[in-house]
Amino acid sequence: MSSTETRSTGPGAADDYTDLAAEIADQIQSFLVAIREIARGENPDTTLSMLLLEVSQLCLAGGRLGAISDVVPVERFEPDAGPDPDVDELRERIAGLLDPVDAYVEVVDPVDPARGATGFRLSDDLASIASDLLHGLSHYRDGRVVEALWWWQFSYLSSWGSSCGAALRALHSLIAHTRLDHHDEAIDVLEGPLPAQAEL
């Protein structure tokens, strides 16, 4: 879909957005199911790799939302989506799984380096992302398709998109260090001096 494409926001707007909303909702629900499963901690050895996979796939959904023209809700004010979802347990479970690699440092805004870098936590990022997605999902499940897409797009651009990108970079770095640092050590051993008994 072209980023310059314009969609109607009149009475038939929901029909125009039906297919896209269904696809985005499916990706979001898949992410939420997976992240909850990971947080259960039944396979701690695969936590980092599974988080990398799920966040990468969610970035694709976000990219689609960022690429289309602005979604304009039917009503001037956002309909009540109910109470904010409780993601504290999810945050705590992920923090426990990732301890002591939960914290990382990220540049706040690459376009404005003067803002500097600050510390973040993967568990906070993932819980915040889940909260934003669940809020839009409440609209979608109540049949407010345009409002759901509007919220997902708005919150992607203002919040969970940057959190996804930062989390993805942190997860990639953790996995890269785990794999490559170990590999470098193996190379050092292989390229080191031969044991005395093996020397000619």
Domain ranges of the chain: 14-74+84-187
| 159-186 confidence digits (pLDDT tens) | 999 999 999 999 999 999 888 875 544 4
* Runs of H (alpha helix) within the chain: 13-39, 47-67, 88-98, 122-141, 145-155, 161-176, 182-191
Please report, to the nearest 10 degrees, the dihedral formed by the alpha carbons of residues 128, 141, 153, 57 taken in order.
70
Q: What are the DSSP calls for 1-27, one per residue? A: --TT-----STTHHHHHHHHHHHHHHH
Range with top average pLDDT, 62-71, 100-109, 173-182: 62-71
Q: What is the pLDDT of residue 7?
A: 40
Average pLDDT, integer, range 47-72: 95
∠142-27-124 over CA atoms, to 5°? Answer: 90
Task: Give the Cα separation of 153 and 24 in Å (integer).
Answer: 10
Q: What's phi and psi for 92, nearest 5 deg? A: -65, -40
Average pLDDT, integer, range 94-111: 87
Question: Tokens for 51?
Answer: 């988080």
| 115-163 confidence digits (pLDDT tens) | 767 889 999 999 999 999 999 999 999 999 999 999 999 999 999 999 9
Q: Are 38 and 54 in contact (CB under 8 A)?
A: yes
Q: What is the pLDDT of residue 15?
A: 61
Q: Are 102 and 95 in contact (CB under 8 A)?
A: yes
Longest pairwise C-alpha distance within the chain:
86
Buried-exposed string 48-84: b where 16+ CB fall within 10 A, e elsewhere = bebbbebbeebbebbebbeebeebebeeeeeeebeee
Q: Quick check: 5 pLDDT over 60? A: no
Q: Quick check: 73 pLDDT over 90? A: no
Q: What is the pLDDT of residue 116?
A: 67
Q: Are 67 and 95 in contact (CB under 8 A)?
A: no
The CATH classification of domain 14-74+84-187, taken from the options 1.10.3720.10, 1.20.120.1550, 3.40.50.720, 3.90.550.10: 1.20.120.1550
Question: Tokens for 5?
Answer: 């494409």
